[in-house]
Chain A
Amino acid sequence: MKEILKAENLGIEFGGVKAVDNISIAANAGEIVSVIGPNGAGKTTLFNLVSGVYRPRTGRIFLHGKDVTGLPPHRLARHGLTRTFQNLQIFFRMTAAENVMVGRHLYERRNVLAHLLSMPSAARQQAESRDRALDLIERVGLRAVADRSAGSLPYGALKRLEIARALAAEPEVLLLDEPAAGCNPRETEEIDEIIQGIAASGVAVVLVEHDMRLVMKISSHIVVLNFGRKLIEGNAERVKNDPSVLEAYLGQKRERVRAVAVDR
């Protein structure tokens, strides 16, 4: 399996607190890597580091073996990495279709003069982007609301819209920050299918999620964080039964946790 994303020894601190301390993570094509951990463990900070929103204090990031450490998000996108956001960064004043069309930015010719003068090439570009966008919108089940203002769509739809938008950029690495947060079981199920479809098409998916059933069900590999450090990683079986993971989430004493784990 091709390793597309590799991040080594990432670290950053805010005001003296090590939000992320020496974390390494990797993702191969077609894999779904989930990053889990209690609140404040550093998951979103890790995402922000990998996606270029923050500059790491320590560590390096590689895409296809190329060192991309410190590159800003728009350059990383050009290298094939994009992401969605925990707190929905939808373009609320545009329609659903327009949102996804922005995702086609990397594939549109950026000839401003042609745009200003409304030349035929610009119109062709527009049509092409719109077609691609509509395909993706269809894929996430939002065809019916494609031309509605994003601000008028329900939460669950917006979560899927963000994914469609990220896919429009044809990424090789896709970071999904809590894609199912706040979704009911049916919506979560839809999203889980979408994610599996994305991985099946060869994209390396890195996921932050709290929904354990989703995580255990679809992940090839799970990384557990706590207090900014990597606690343990492995497949679902290994992580599910590890006492230190339970302790991190539930804060229980070792003995009690072992007892519970054995009982299971």
Chain B
Amino acid sequence: MIASRRATWLLQGRGSLLILAAAVLLLPLIVSTNFHYRVLVLVWVFSLAVIGLNLLMGYAGQVSLGHAGFFALGAYSTALGPPLLNMPPWASLPAGIALSGLVAFVIGRPILRLKGHYLAVATLGFGVLVYMGLSNEIRLTGGPDGMRVERLLLFGWSVRSNVIWYWITGGLMLLGAWLALNLVGSPSGRAIRAIHDSEVAASALGVDAAAYKLLVFVISAAYASAAGGLLALFNGHVTPGLSDFLISIQLVTMVVLGGMGSILGSVVGAALLVLLPQVLTFLQDYEHAFLGLIMILTMIFLRSGLVPGLLKLLTKDGHEGNP
């Protein structure tokens, strides 16, 4: 069983940090063009959002079809922070996180009382409302055309280089993964996983299920917001499209494909869905159809996702819980 314990540690436990760190550090050895770096920045950014969503879906067992709403809130915060509140760009990122956290806290309470389809539709509704708000409030947000985002200034230099963004987003992704892994292995993480497996039993043991679900909802919103903010600073531009239902679905697919309840899986899922369309350029027009197909096929054939699926292959009696 030593091999399976090692496999579990590597794919499910702390070891996944090693794999991710290795990926971040070693990828620059293989990639060279600016375009490649750009794509990788997108991978790290989406990974961050997906890690957060995975905490909500995979560990807490809730579903959110509107997470792009928080993504966009984070993005627009970095856009609006400097002109509206005279904030420097780097400060508008945490401000956006705080804002999203607050919004999540407020809507989370009523929404998380819902279950199954109702929860799904309520979160979807949230995403749509954000989209509408961003599209309609033209004076504030520039409407469907979006608005400019002031560039990040580090030590007086305007950060535009794709390479530097690679390291920034890669590093932050690792930070996000580290925090998530810590949470999952902690007493709070145990409580959250317990709620997922049996809310009624967890309650009987003193776990305040509603409070923990809200906690995870807020944390996942914070992750999505951070990712959105980073993307906005990187692109220098935001549009309401960032809150589109399709982005929410892409995030969900990344979680599901990579593996629910797997931090490493979150990054794998994000990487696949960002990279595949780049690699299979003939898919260009069929991108949406392809996404839909992946969702269906994953749920039928590989319900636990790629990384947990791989783990099951490598271990004999299923994964042995979080070490």
Which residue numbers of A lie inside 8 Å of B, CB to CB? 51-53, 72-74, 77-78, 82-83, 85, 89-95, 98, 101-106, 108-110, 112, 115-118, 122, 125-126, 129, 147-149, 151-152, 165-166, 168-169
Give the contact stretch, choosing among B21-29, B136-144, B192-200: B192-200
A115 with B317: CB separation less than 8 A: no
Residues of B within 8 A of A152 (CB): 317-318
Known: A74-B209, A90-B201, A93-B321. A105 touches B179 (CB 8 A): no
- 6 A-B pairs whose Cβ atoms sit less than 8 Å apart in the complex: A89-B198, A93-B193, A93-B321, A98-B321, A112-B183, A165-B205
Chain A residue with the shortest CB-CB distance to B320: A149
B198 with A115: CB separation less than 8 A: no
A115 with B188: CB separation less than 8 A: yes
Known: A85-B201, A89-B198. A106 touches B206 (CB 8 A): yes
A120 CB, min distance to chain B CBs, angstroms: 12
Task: Count B interface residues, CB 8 Å.
Answer: 34
Residues of A within 8 A of B203 (CB): 52, 72-74, 77
B200 with A85: CB separation less than 8 A: yes
Residues of A within 8 A of B187 (CB): 101, 104-105, 108-110, 115, 122, 125-126, 129
B197 with A103: CB separation less than 8 A: no
B204 with A106: CB separation less than 8 A: no
Give complex CA distance A166, B185 in Å.
Answer: 21
Known contacts A53-B200, A82-B204, A102-B190; 19 further A-B pairs (Cβ under 8 A):
A74-B209, A89-B198, A90-B197, A91-B202, A93-B321, A94-B194, A95-B320, A95-B321, A102-B207, A104-B187, A105-B187, A110-B188, A112-B215, A126-B186, A147-B320, A149-B320, A149-B321, A151-B318, A166-B204
Which residues of chain B in 197-248 are interfacial with respect to chain A, using CB atoms and an 8 Å cutoff? 197-198, 200-209, 215
Q: Mark B151-193, 1 if CB is under 8 A from A, else 0.
A: 0000000000000000000000000001100110111111101
Known: A73-B203, A74-B209. A116 touches B179 (CB 8 A): yes
Residues of B within 8 A of A165 (CB): 201, 205
| B322: interface (CB < 8 Å) | yes
Residues of A within 8 A of B191 (CB): 102, 105
| B36: interface (CB < 8 Å) | no
Which residues of chain B in 286-323 are interfacial with respect to chain A, using CB atoms and an 8 Å cutoff? 317-322
Chain A residue with the shortest CB-CB distance to B203: A73
Known: A95-B321, A115-B183, A117-B179. A77 touches B205 (CB 8 A): yes
Chain A residue with the shortest CB-CB distance to B319: A149
Residues of B within 8 A of A122 (CB): 182, 186-187
Give complex CA distance A95, B60 in Å.
Answer: 17
Chain A residue with the shortest CB-CB distance to B184: A115
A162 CB, min distance to chain B CBs, angstroms: 8
Chain A residue with the shortest CB-CB distance to B316: A152
Known: A93-B321, A129-B187. A74 touches B182 (CB 8 A): no
User: Which residue of B205, B207, B208, B215 has the most chain A CB atoms within 10 A of its CB atom?
Assistant: B205
B200 with A92: CB separation less than 8 A: no
A169 with B205: CB separation less than 8 A: yes
A94 with B186: CB separation less than 8 A: no
Which 10 pairs from chain A and chain B are nearest by CB? A115-B186, A77-B206, A89-B201, A95-B321, A91-B197, A73-B203, A118-B182, A89-B198, A106-B206, A108-B187
Residues of B within 8 A of A94 (CB): 190, 193-194, 197, 321-322
A179 CB, min distance to chain B CBs, angstroms: 14
User: Which residue of B185, B186, B188, B197 has the most chain A CB atoms within 10 A of its CB atom?
Assistant: B186
User: Which residue of B189, B202, B261, B321 has the most chain A CB atoms within 10 A of its CB atom?
Assistant: B321
Residues of A within 8 A of B197 (CB): 90-94
A115 with B189: CB separation less than 8 A: yes
Residues of B within 8 A of A95 (CB): 320-321
